[in-house]
Amino acid sequence: MPTIKEIFEHKQDILRNRPDKCRVEVSADSHLVEAFRSHVKTRGFEVVIDQPEHMGSTDLGPRPSEMLLAALAACHEVTYRLYADAMNIDLKDIAVSVTGVSDARGFFSVDEVTPAGFSEIYGDIKIESDASDEDIERLRRAVNRSCPVLDDLQKPIKVELEVKRKHSARQDPDR
């Protein structure tokens, strides 16, 4: 099996020489099954996303906002591992903890100005390494430049979600 560094260098070579291979699309399909519980499928995996019982749901999975934080934490860990190996920087272990802060007035439309989502995300990246402080800083800069989920959260993204009416058995499709 190739090393992470070999995979990194191979992917860089492909992307430099084959522009047709640069576009990456990922997708997720979600279906609300009960109260606020959704079953989400992506790449053959199924994940349950839910709300706590105090929100009137079943608490059988994390909230969507918790999944967003989990994606940021895990993506950071993966990007640190990839770039540490590619840059020959020792990285024995990494763990990321993140917390998001939001104002519930936004989600519940208490007023027109409070955003529904996070106003800030903060956390800690705990690493075990024998690398120098300078190397760790070089690694941190490379990760912050290259982590896809961090990039997604730090810039505006065009999002278009089209509503398509699904006809139920009770509805007459000719109306």
Report whether CATH 3.30.300.20 matches the domain 63-154: yes
- Per-residue pLDDT of 107-142, as tens digits, reads 999 999 999 999 999 999 999 999 999 999 999 999
Angle at 161 between CA 156 and CA 163, to 5 degrees: 160
- Three-state DSSP state, 129: coil
Q: What is the mean pLDDT of residues 37-62?
A: 97
Please state whether the predicted TM-score (pTM) of the whole model is above 0.85. Answer: yes
CA distance 161 to 168: 21
- Per-residue pLDDT of 57-95, as tens digits, reads 999 999 999 999 999 999 999 999 999 999 999 999 999
Of all residues in the chain, the percent with pLDDT exceeding 90 is 94
Local confidence band at 103 (pLDDT 50, 70, 90 cut-offs): very high
